[in-house]
Chain A
Amino acid sequence: MKVVISTGGRWKKLKLKIDDETFAHVEKIAKKYGFRVDDTIKMLLKGDFIDDIPPEITDGKIEELKREVDSLKKELYGLEGKWSPLKFKTYYLAMDNQNLAIQLAAMIAQNKRLRKSLGMEEKEYGELEEKIHYYLNFGSAEGGESKPGKGNVVPNGGRG
């Protein structure tokens, strides 16, 4: 096999020869460890081999790591699959609450006005106003808002 290394120009070329049997072996090793043949040939040319190898690095250990990686990927994809629709659902739930908060803010203002006209004492809306404030600001400050009670998530649904 003829190997031509170049920078893409016409003149700068480095020509090497590898007998077919050796090339097939290089190809086989590269494939086994997931490397591209051209990168492997470059490595072979530079000869910067790692000689000091810990004994625990065996092909068996590599197979074990591959299985672990695959299993974690599977778990991650599974969780992502459940997470996306839930994020979407909670976003619209929070939007419903935002609409309710808008209505309630107007109703509280009306209630205050009516009570004033009737000479009645103003009502306390502590907890309700806290929730209204939270849902009115929902999505405007990622997680930075004070939350009513527990919960530490401001999902932004379909907006990214």
Chain B
Amino acid sequence: MDGEIEILVSEEEFQELKRHKREFKSNLKNLEGLERTLRVLQYRYLTEKLAELEKKLEEMKEHYSSLIEFEKMAKEDKVYLMGKRSELSEENRRLEAKVRGHEGSH
């Protein structure tokens, strides 16, 4: 099969690749070297990816537990604030009545 593959590169990369044209034939015979290189590059990529994911997961776990803690606090606060609202509402009603009583007696 006589196919063709076109690779588009930048001007800078073109010049660099052009300089290596002569070595291409001998490099083609070193497919083992190519395979070793790709193996190392993939190993590096995967170890970096793993470290990145470990870091992200650690951060996420921290955020998640802070959120759980915040939810607990906010729920307790809601009960507390609602209790205080009824207390104050009752007290203000009583005081309001007293003030009205005072005003009425003058």
Q: Is the interface of B mostly helix, strand, loop or mixed?
A: helix
Q: Is the interface of A mostly helix, strand, loop or mixed?
A: helix
Q: Known contacts A37-B5, A62-B42, A153-B63; decide if A104 and B81 are in contact (CB<8 Å).
A: yes
Taken together as a complex, chains A and B put the C-alpha atoms of A86 and B75 apart, in Å, by 13
CB distance from A44 to the nearest CB of B (A): 5
Extra contacts, 13 of them, besides A3-B4, A51-B33, A131-B81 (Cβ < 8 A), are A1-B1, A3-B7, A6-B7, A6-B14, A50-B36, A50-B41, A53-B39, A72-B54, A73-B53, A83-B60, A115-B95, A152-B69, A155-B70
CB distance from B40 to the nearest CB of A (A): 5
- Across the A-B interface, the 10 shortest Cβ-Cβ residue pairs: A114-B95, A49-B33, A33-B38, A65-B46, A153-B70, A153-B66, A100-B81, A72-B53, A151-B73, A47-B27
Q: Known contacts A46-B20, A100-B78, A118-B102; decide if A86 and B67 are in contact (CB<8 Å).
A: yes
Whose C-beta in chain A lies nearest to the C-beta of B96? A114
> In the assembled complex, which residues on chain A have CB atoms less than 8 Å from the CB atom of B16?
46
Within 8 A of B (CB), among A69-122: 69, 72-73, 75-76, 79-80, 82-83, 86-87, 89-90, 93-94, 96-97, 100-101, 103-104, 107-108, 110-111, 114-115, 117-118, 120
| Interface size band for A | 35 or more
Q: Which of B3, B26, B74, B84 lies in contact with A1, CB distance below 8 A?
A: B3
> In the assembled complex, which residues on chain A have CB atoms less than 8 Å from the CB atom of B71?
86, 89-90, 93
Which among B11, B35, B80, B99 has the greatest number of chain A C-beta atoms within 10 A?
B35
Q: Known contacts A80-B60, A83-B67, A86-B68; decide if A96 and B38 are in contact (CB<8 Å).
A: no
Taken together as a complex, chains A and B put the C-alpha atoms of A42 and B7 apart, in Å, by 9
**A76/B60 in contact, CB under 8 A:** yes
Whose C-beta in chain A lies nearest to the C-beta of B6? A4
Q: Known contacts A6-B14, A62-B39, A72-B53; decide if A79 and B61 are in contact (CB<8 Å).
A: yes
